[in-house]
Structure 1
Amino acid sequence: MLQELGEQGLLALVQRFSPIDITGDDAALVDVEAGSIAITTDVLVDGVHFSEATTSAFDVGWRSIAANLSDLAAMGAMPLGVTVGLSLPGEVAIDWVEQLYQGMAACLQPYDTPILGGDLTRSTVKTVAITAIGQVDRDRAIRRSTAKPGDAILVTSVHGASRAGLELLLHPDCVELEPEVRSRLVQAHQRPMPRLDVLPLLPIDRIAGMDSSDGLADAVLQICRSSRVGAEVWRDRIPLSAWPNHDQAIEWALYGGEDFELVLCMAIDQAEALCRQLPEAAIVGRITSDRQVVLIGEGGRELLSFNSGFQHFTSH
Structure 2
Amino acid sequence: MTNIRHLDPSASPLDYYGSELRRLREAAGLTQEALGGIIFVTGSLVGQIETAHKVPTRDFSERVDAGLGTDGMFSRLVGMVLRSQLPTWFQPYADLEARATYIYTFQPQLVYGLLQTPEYARAVLSVRTESDLDARVAARMERQRILERANPPLMWVVMSEAVLHQEIGGREVMRNQLAHLLELSTREWVNLQILPFEVGAHAGLMGEFNLLRFEDDPEIVYTEDFVQGHMTANPTAFKEGSLRYDHLQAAALSVEDSTALIARVMEERYGDRPEPDGRTVA
TM category (shorter chain) comes to 0.3 to 0.5
Higher RCO by CA contacts (8 Å cutoff, separation 6 or greater): 1
TM-score (norm 1): 0.32
TM-score (norm 2): 0.35
Q: Which has the higher strand share?
A: 1
User: Radius of gyration: which is bigger?
Assistant: 2
Q: Which has the higher helix share?
A: 2
